[in-house]
Amino acid sequence: MWSDVVQRISIDNDTGQVIKRENFNGTETSKDLHRQLPVQVRSLRTVLVYKRVDGHPDPGQPLEQADRPEVDADQIPGEDSRLFDQRMKRSLDDVAGRTSDSRAPMRRSRVFGTWVADQVTEYGDKSKLPVMANPRDMQLFYKLESGDVVYYDGEIFGSFVALTKQSGKELTEKNFTADEVRLFNEAKKVEIGNLVSGNAIKFIRDRSKVEEIWKELPQRVMPSRFILTKKSQELGEGWKAKARWILLGHRDPDVMQLERFSPTPATTTVYLVFQLVSSLRYQLFIMDVTSAFGQSDPQVREQGPLYASLPKSGIPDEESWHLIEVLTAAYGLVNAPSAWRKTVVSVLTSLSYKESVFDPCLYYLPYQPDEVDSLDQRGCAGIVLLDVDDFAQGGNARHHQLMQRLRERFKFGKWRCLYNGHGEYLGRNYDKVTTLLLTNVRQPFSEELAGPTVRHVKAVNKTINELKKTATVYLRILPSDLNKGIWMSISDASVGNDAEKSQGGFIIAYADREIMNGGLQSFSINSWKSHRVRRVVKASLGSEALAMDDGLAELEWVKAMFTEVVIPNSTVSDGTRFGVDESAVVVRQQDPDENTILVTDARALYDLFHRRSGAAGLCRRAQIHVSVMAASAKALRAEVHWLPGVHMLADCLTKRLGNAALMRRVLGLGRYAIKEDGLLALSNLEKELSVGEAAVKDALRLFREIGDTDGEEAAQITLLDILCAKDGPAAGAATVSKERLAYYKTKGDKLGEGKALQKLAEQLMSSAKDEAAKYAKDAAALFVQAGDKKAQAAALQTAALAQSTDRVPAAEEALKISKSIGDEAGQVDLLTGLSAVLSGEAALARAQEAQALAKKLGDRSGEARAKHAAAVATLKLEKSSEALELAKEAASMLGEEKDTFSQACALRTAASAASAAEACELLREAVSLSAGSGDRTAEAAAKLQLAAALLAFEGPLASIFQNRTEAAAVAEQARVAFLLLGDKRSQGRASHLAAQSKILLDDLDGGVEAAMQAAVLGRSCGDRWLEACAMRTAVAGQVSKGCHAEALRMAKEVKSLFHKLGSSNIEEAMDSLIQQLEEVLPKIHPNPRVSVLPKDASINLQQNSIFTQATNCIVWSLPVSQLSYLMYCCELLKFVDDLKAIPDRIAFLVLTRGVMGRHTGEMMPAQYTGVLGTTVWAICRTIRLESPKLLVATVDVPNSATVHEMTDCIRAAQLDSGPRNEVSFIIDRNNQLGKRPY
């Protein structure tokens, strides 16, 4: 550290003469320490004299002896000697990565980091004596080569060893906006508050005690810092600021004496837990613990108490000199996961949960005698899966009581039931009804994508298209009865299918035991794996045997864990299977009928497994594997089944062109088979459905002939199920209605025909309203002929709601008919519907009439719907407060009646009348209710309205920022939902809201992309207003990005659109914007006065000297390739070599146009910190370092700058070349030239 330096001595390397001695007092800044190289001096070395410290193993020599002989540069520093810089490049040849006598590149190690200069060791306190080195330092950095540069100043907590990559989720505090600073400061307070309230830490604010600790126990004070991230919420929600306070675990003085083991569950265990919860019909809960490590049991270390200093960024409301006493295993300590696990395990075992022998993250609660019907009943009272601070659990009433005790012991953040909902556990999303579309690819591969060809690109495109077509396929875990289930392994392999490597794969599944007797049975996949076969094989028999062996091993482990948890009286013991040298833990189970299935499509393997003949086959290694598997299979009572290759489910795991269609079909059905009849039904599923459809239609015809109405209704339900499975729910229902219509029409039954038409009209209301209106009118006519006036009124109301014109007469006629027959209950619905097609005071009057009539009849549900209609009518009359009160009352009444769909609609109406803040809360509840009712259209509409309300919210800046983030997430969820529903207009509106949110959040690229998507959707559905508004939003994004030329082109198009729509106000605003953009953009001259063209990049890279081509300015133009960039760099280095021959001090400029210091032709943000190491400016920095007598200035100007403006930039750079002789200019033609801020 410079504060420890008392004198600097500069010595000429060539003559050994001391040039200058400078004394320092420790208060100098970095800029005061730089000196120009004296004239006639080519290179020098520097001796730094540090403060003399009593008690130091190497206290140094007196100041007057500082010019003692230097240590040989090749000598390795010994114990506690001074460290000298041996890694600084000293010549231009070194800059190019080579020596003067060899063109081979210098060796570089793969170790990057810095020497630990602030750690207390047995040799002394390095934070006070930073020049000390001990054997541990030399051992740590023994891989460093002489060509390595290891200089690094930590921006957060000083110098440290940085050998790992920073997490992509972690945020840098210096890049925060003011809103983000507020949010994360609050998150810091919450984090520290949780730790203090949980007795995990304690602040030491007594200055005398702090000084005593630093004096007597400095080695037990650890540095700390915050990890700041944006925590993802559940589906459809935004992010929230999260701050995690951690200690630097590698600085723990007791690190070698601490226990570190803390397991995590296997993927197979996770799915096994979900299978058990599903089969036992329990509700699944997921939870996570808030600041889990801070809730561990207190720990007292034998070595003494542990302390922590405050992070360099500080803790709100705390002084920087305060210390923290660590009372338990906090985050960052190597024993923190282990200590937390011990705490949780002790609590779970005290609650009578047992730990699984096979996976220590699985805990189960055995049944008590009064909880089962028989002692051999399978299952357990509860099950808990633990992954550090995340829990998944389910069980009976006793289990839930115990979980409440667990909740009292620990503070949980998320505690959510997934029944009829969705959630995320260990990165896996569980949702019964929502389809997730993957739109981003994160963490691009490098080595894995080496050497791609056109064939690979085609394969990727084919895979993408296949995924798009099958977006609704997902993994299903069915509630198979534990007393009737069976475990099975399905394995397959291929030989030499990829660069002479064989691929194997297996699937472990839990199926209904009846699968052994034939037919399609329940089938739930538990685990799967596709992997390279671990050994080179001579034939397919060998690879098939190895694949089956891997599947059998996985099955053996899964079944052992399953048996331990759910089968009563099972015991775990140590048994010898294959000799005294191979012993395994096995489960002794009581049920002799517990079978297992192994499935293969290799006939040779099947025959070898059953015949077990030593003369059979040609592959002895395969025979050895089969012999070993036979012993394991006997212990598992496993049966081997053979299937033809066309029915092999694991085929797609081992071949690029495998039978993926079969896998998707099985996943969609949740059914599989291993017998001929079931396999035939699986392969001929479409044909079977057609045959079943014909059979049900015959049965329906017979029931109608004999007049069996119950049988007819049952047959229609069966027909509906078949058609829905074949054609989809909507198309299937429409087909059944049309079939019913044709039957009644043939029979001449006007009433039945009318009812069929009415049913068909109701089904088409959401997709084809015009067609629905036609069917409803035809139904009304038929009801007139049949004399059913009540049904006629209902049909007329459906027609009024469906048609776009002449709605009021139809509704009035329906009401008139209902009054004529005295149907007061029907009049309530008709009056409510009439209010929807009317407007103004008439609509309100009809709604109030319906409300009074429903109240008279005691119809609470009808009264609530009428009150909602009155709220809608009042809102149209611009009476917001009255409408809000009516809508809230209607929502409350509908909630009492358990009508969640109508309640959600009432809440949406109330939100339209409420303030933005209240509207957000109402709409969040509406989204939840719509999701619970299963109406995806209503849920998407509520999300769309919620996104709009969030954008309109006005309040504190932090709240506005959070709401905009949530608006972007909710709008994206609405867009996906409308995409699945096929509603392009609503999808475009959601995209537009997402675009506005992203632009307000400074995600300009994403905002412009979403706005253009909304414009395309508006154009495709004929919504010109949506198209124009989305284009206008895109213009705003382009202006914010600084793409003025593109913004000008789009602005002219937007002006044309609004002109056609007749919106003069927006048209005038676009006129003004176009004028401003034209003023900002440079005038294009047909014949430019100066044109600088790049050199041809196809020429060989040679170090051509440009010494004779330029005097003091080198210009690099914009559009060049990487080869041209390398050529320019080589020329620049050669130019510097030519200048070495000149004894005088030389200054020159390197001018770039529009490249901001990067490779020419690339753009980057205008911050100095963003300049990468392989840039034009980095080359110039190295030249400055290696040739101090050259004054090199780098100047960047906009690519639109004229010659005169470039001259002004050069002149300004000569007057002020910036803090590092690096300056970038922006040109504002309305004002003046200005430097670009760093």
Residue 417 one-letter amino acid: C
Assess whether pLDDT exceeds 50 at residue 317: yes
pLDDT of residue 499: 59
Range of the domain at 36: 1-70
Name the more confident of 866 and 384.
Answer: 384
Query: For residue 765, is it within any domain?
Result: no
Banded model confidence at residue 84, pLDDT cuts 50, 70, 90 = very low
What value, to the nearest 5°, has the Cα angle with vertex 1235 and ends 1229 and 1238? 135
Assess whether pLDDT exceeds 60 at residue 234: no
Do 51 and 103 share a structural domain? no
* H helix and E strand count, the chain: 36, 32
Do 177 and 154 share a structural domain? no
Q: What is the pLDDT of residues 145-175, one digit of tens each?
A: 333 333 333 333 333 333 334 445 678 887 7
Give the end of a domain, one of 70, 104, 125: 70
Query: For residue 474, is it within any domain?
Result: no
What is the average pLDDT across 1228-1237? 50
pLDDT of residue 351: 92
Name the more confident of 797 and 145.
Answer: 797
pLDDT of residue 78: 37
**CB atoms < 10 A from the CB of 836, how many?**
18
Residue 144 one-letter amino acid: L
Instruction: State how far the Cα of 213 lies from the Cα of 190, in Å rounded to an integer.
Output: 27
In 3D space, the residue among 1172, 1193, 1195 whose CA is nearest the CA of residue 1183 turns out to be 1193
Query: For residue 693, is it within any domain?
Result: no
Place of tokens 């009124």: 793
Mean pLDDT lowest among 377-391, 396-410, 728-742: 728-742
What is the average pLDDT across 856-875? 85
CB half-sphere exposure, 849, CA atoms < 13 A = 16
Banded model confidence at residue 1198, pLDDT cuts 50, 70, 90 = confident
Do 45 and 112 share a structural domain? no
Assess whether pLDDT exceeds 70 at residue 728: no
Residue 875 one-letter amino acid: L
Query: For residue 267, is it within any domain?
Result: yes
Name the more confident of 966 and 1111.
Answer: 966
Alpha carbon 395 to chain centroid distance? Answer: 30
Do 425 and 512 share a structural domain? no
pLDDT of residue 149: 34
Cβ atoms of residues 696 and 720 within 8 Å: no
Do 551 and 498 share a structural domain? yes
Query: For residue 574, is it within any domain?
Result: yes
Cβ atoms of residues 977 and 939 within 8 Å: yes
Instruction: State how far the Cα of 573 lies from the Cα of 587, in Å rounded to an integer.
Output: 6
Do 223 and 114 share a structural domain? no
Assess whether pLDDT exceeds 50 at residue 984: yes
Place of tokens 């990727």: 460
Q: What is the pLDDT of residues 936-954, one digit of tens each?
A: 788 888 888 888 888 887 6
Mean pLDDT lowest among 115-119, 410-414, 815-819, 964-968: 115-119
Assess whether pLDDT exceeds 90 at residue 1149: no
Mean pLDDT lowest among 52-61, 78-87, 1228-1237: 78-87
CATH number, domain containing residue 561:
3.30.420.10
Percent of the chain with pLDDT over 70: 72
Axis-axis angle for helices 676-683, 685-706 (nearest 10): 90
Assess whether pLDDT exceeds 60 at residue 1125: yes
Q: What is the pLDDT of residues 779-790, one digit of tens each?
A: 888 887 878 877
Cβ atoms of residues 1026 and 1000 within 8 Å: no
Mean pLDDT lowest among 247-256, 309-318, 809-818: 809-818
Cβ atoms of residues 280 and 356 within 8 Å: no
Do 100 and 62 share a structural domain? no
Mean pLDDT lowest among 122-136, 941-955, 1033-1047: 122-136
Assess whether pLDDT exceeds 70 at residue 1174: no
Query: For residue 464, is it within any domain?
Result: no
In the structure encoding, which two tokens stand for residue 1004, read together? Answer: 């300009």
Do 11 and 108 share a structural domain? no
Percent of the chain with pLDDT over 90: 8
Highest mean pLDDT among 274-288, 752-766, 1162-1176 belongs to: 274-288
Instruction: State how far the Cα of 255 lies from the Cα of 245, in Å rounded to an integer.
Output: 19
Instruction: Fill in the DSSP letter of residue 1083.
Output: P
Assess whether pLDDT exceeds 80 at residue 1211: no
pLDDT of residue 159: 36
Residue 330 one-letter amino acid: A
Our count of domains for the chain comes to 6
Query: For residue 1066, is it within any domain?
Result: no
The dihedral region occupied by 80, where left means phi > 0, alpha psi between -120 and 50, and beta the remainder, is left
Give the end of a domain, one of 367, 402, 431: 431
Q: To the nearest 10°, the Cα dihedral for 765, 768, 773, 779?
A: -80
Three-state SS for 125? strand
Banded model confidence at residue 52, pLDDT cuts 50, 70, 90 = low
Name the more confident of 257 and 381.
Answer: 381
Name the more confident of 100 and 965.
Answer: 965
Give the end of a domain, one of 12, 43, 70: 70
CATH number, domain containing residue 846:
1.25.40.10
Do 80 and 64 share a structural domain? no
| Polymer length of the chain | 1238
Alpha helices in 858-935, H assignment, sequence order? 860-876, 880-896, 900-913, 916-933
Do 183 and 80 share a structural domain? no
What is the average pLDDT across 38-60? 66
Cβ atoms of residues 760 and 734 within 8 Å: yes
pLDDT of residue 577: 37
Question: Taking all residues of the chain, what is their mean pLDDT, rounded to a whole number?
Answer: 73
Place of tokens 């549900």: 861
Instruction: State how far the Cα of 804 lies from the Cα of 1233, in Å rounded to an integer.
Output: 61
Query: For residue 86, is it within any domain?
Result: yes
pLDDT of residue 685: 65
Do 424 and 492 share a structural domain? no
Gyration radius of the chain over CA positions: 39
Q: What is the pLDDT of residues 1002-1014, one digit of tens each?
A: 888 888 888 988 8
Banded model confidence at residue 87, pLDDT cuts 50, 70, 90 = very low
Assess whether pLDDT exceeds 70 at residue 613: no
Q: What is the pLDDT of residues 387-445, one digit of tens each?
A: 888 899 999 989 999 999 998 888 887 787 775 444 454 444 444 333 333 333 333 34
Do 408 and 520 share a structural domain? no
Q: What is the pLDDT of residues 424-438, one digit of tens each?
A: 544 444 443 333 333
Three-state SS for 788? coil
pLDDT of residue 65: 45
Residue 672: beta bridge partners?
A: 521
Banded model confidence at residue 13, pLDDT cuts 50, 70, 90 = confident
Q: To the nearest 10°, the Cα dihedral for 1115, 1118, 1123, 1125?
A: 40
